[in-house]
Amino acid sequence: MGHPARLPRKLFRFLRVSSRERRDLLAALGALLWARRAMRDRATGDLVALHEGQDATAPVDLPRARALARAVVRVAAYLPFDASCLIRSLAIQRLFAREGMPPGQIRIGVRIDEVEGFQAHAWVEVEGRVVGDVPQHVSTFTPVTDMTAIRF
């Protein structure tokens, strides 16, 4: 969470961002808390379902999608719990749903690292583009599945 003496500086930075960014950051906090609870309280299969009433083929405002994903990543860095890649991905999709955007896809990939062994990673793609993660990092994983959408 950071050193308490740095908190006023972080708060000052928060207050200096635009009102839209502030709303996005607060919405990201809510989405991350929801995703953490959903991961704890629901079976994984219950998280995966088609969004009812959302057109997954509608065009996406990619800059807006990236801004929402960036807000999730920024907030996740300050949480007192580990916001895993899957929690961040669920939160990003939740924000997309809140904005009436198509949900994108949560991709899950794996790799075997010589030092750390088997690893899995989740990320969100919108129109085939990675949002909320570093494409070069994601490219080191072999996709094994995607979760098209979640039931909110």
- Domain-wise residue ranges, the chain: 4-147
Q: Which parts of 5-149 fold into alpha helices (H)?
A: 7-16, 19-41, 44-47, 62-76, 85-98, 135-138
pLDDT band at 147; cut points 50, 70, 90: low
pLDDT in tens, 21-34: 999 999 999 999 99
Q: What is the pLDDT averaged over residues 48-77?
A: 79
pLDDT band at 116; cut points 50, 70, 90: confident
97 C-beta neighbours (distance < 10 Å), count: 19
Looking up tokens 């994108």 gives: 104
User: For residues 146 and 124, what is the distance between their CA atoms, to the nearest angstrom?
Assistant: 9
Q: Is the pLDDT of residue 52 over 50?
A: no
* DSSP type of residue 17: S
